[in-house]
Each structure stands twice: as C-alpha cells, then as structure tokens.
Amino acid sequence: MPVATILSFILHEIHRLPGSVVYGMVALLVFGEAALFIGFILPGETAVLVAGVVASQGRVNIGALCALVVVAAIVGDSVGYAVGHRYGERLLRIPVMAKRSAEIGRALEGLRRRGPTYVFVGRFTAFLRAVMPGLAGMSKMHYPRFLWANALGGLIWGVSFSLLGYFAGNALNKIEKWAGWGSLGLLLLVIGLWVAFFLRRRARARRDSGPEGT
C-alpha cells in the first residue's frame, strides 16, 4: 500500500482523537518499533510523520512532539537491546525474524565490523531500525557504546521527521515523495560531516607531529 494511502487513512482516524491520546499513540508506536518489533508492521516513521501533520493543524505542540519522539525512540531501542541481550539467538527463531534470516545475517556482520556506527546508520532504515537494538544486545555490544550511537540517531531522526510532517502539513503526496529521499539525504549529510571532521582531525594531527618527524 502506498505511503500516502496509509497516511491518509491514519490521519483521517487521528482527527477524532484528543491531543493527549495522539501523544500516547505516537509514543507507543515509536517505542514499540524495536522494543516490541512493531516496526515490521508499521514503521515508526509513518506515525511520526502523521503526528507532525497533526501538529501543523494545532492539535498537538510540535516542540513537545519532537521531545516525546526522541525519548520514545531512545528508550524503546534500549528495551530492544535488553531483550536481545537477555534472550540472545533465541530471538532469531521468532517467525518474523526467521523469515528475514539473510538480512539478519548481513545486519549482524555489519554490526560486528562497524559497531556503534552501524547502530547509528540503522536508525535511518526501516528494517534495521526494528531489529538493530535487539541484534546489538545479542552481539554483546557494551551498552554505553550502543547508547550514545542510538541516542544520536534517535535525536536526529526524531526531530527531522517530526518537522518534516509539520512543515509538509496536509500535503501527503509530498510526504510520500520526501520521506524515503529525506531519510537517505539526512543520513548522507551526517556521514559527510563525520568524514569531514575525521579528515580535518587527521590533517591537524599530521601537522602537529610534523616537526618531530623531521
């Protein structure tokens, strides 16, 4: 089903709800994306975009929405991490995971090779967003390393997609067009800034060590 069709249906239904229920529903969906594997059914992106549209109509506060989405994303992923750490490879026998065994294998390999960087990148892909926290816990990644990458990704993702829905307003066809490209563009921008920072730091280190090497 096209993204715009899903958004139209949810937006039509959400108009009947009071603001407090909208907050609660969005928090539950974003939290449950990784903690309860809801992301396999309804990506959290959809809920956040719709809530942003509702905020543009004055039904909920956009600042409060951004904060709520970020917190729900970080806490939900932390619960997903704890579930993966507790149950380990038994999670892979869950039917919804077993059906995606090839993708899960590639995700685990990426996680072993890139660690926290892969956790951060996974926040911007629907499938990885749903499984990455559990896989990180399963692979015994140290929680502080997971947390900072997860928190950074949750902050950028949560604020960006809340604002995307807010500024797009009711233009659902624009949201459909922008959502996928927006996620990719945002990820490329962050990676580009990180690479630039890394290269600048390495060049500075070379300059500082130059006199000693001569």
What integer pLDDT is reported at residue 81 of this predicted model? Answer: 93
What integer pLDDT is reported at residue 171 of this predicted model? Answer: 58
How many Cβ atoms are within 10 Å of 46's Cβ, its own excluded? 20
Tokens read off for 110: 């990426």
| Residue 95 within a domain | yes
Tens of pLDDT, residue by residue over 12-59, are 666 667 888 889 988 988 998 877 777 667 677 878 888 888 888 888
The residue segments making up the domain with residue 71 are 3-177
What integer is the mean pLDDT of 196-210? 66
Answer yes or no: is pLDDT of 8 > 80. no
What integer pLDDT is reported at residue 61 of this predicted model? Answer: 94
| Residue 55 within a domain | yes
CA distance 165 to 48: 7
Q: Is the CB of residue 34 less than 8 Å from the CB of residue 77?
A: yes
| Residue 41 within a domain | yes
Q: Is the CB of residue 20 less than 8 Å from the CB of residue 41?
A: no
Tens of pLDDT, residue by residue over 118-160, are 899 888 887 888 888 989 988 888 999 999 999 999 999 999 9
Give DSSP secondary structure letters for 21-58. Answer: HHHHHHHHHHHHHHHS-GGGTS-HHHHHHHHHHHHHTT
Residues 6+ apart with CB under 8 A from 187: 121, 124
Residue 152 DSSP symbol: H
| Residue 182 within a domain | no
Answer yes or no: is pLDDT of 206 > 50. yes
Q: Is 118 exposed, middle or buried (0-12, 13-18, 19+ CB in 10 A)?
A: buried
Tens of pLDDT, residue by residue over 62-115, are 999 999 999 999 999 999 999 988 887 787 777 777 777 788 888 888 888 888
What integer pLDDT is reported at residue 12 of this predicted model? Answer: 60
Q: Is the CB of residue 84 less than 8 Å from the CB of residue 134?
A: yes
Give DSSP secondary structure letters for 88-103. Answer: GGGGGGSHHHHTTHHH
CA distance 192 to 198: 10
| Residue 212 within a domain | no
What total of structural domains would you count in the chain?
Answer: 1
What integer pLDDT is reported at residue 201 of this predicted model? Answer: 67
Answer yes or no: is pLDDT of 200 > 60. yes
What integer pLDDT is reported at residue 3 of this predicted model? Answer: 47
Exposure string for 134-163, b = 16+ CB within 10 A, e = fewer: bbbbbbebeeeebbebbbbbbbbbbbbbbb
- The better pLDDT of the pair 162, 9 is held by 162
| Residue 209 within a domain | no
Tens of pLDDT, residue by residue over 150-187, are 999 999 999 999 998 888 775 555 555 555 555 555 55
| Residue 193 within a domain | no
| Residue 9 within a domain | yes
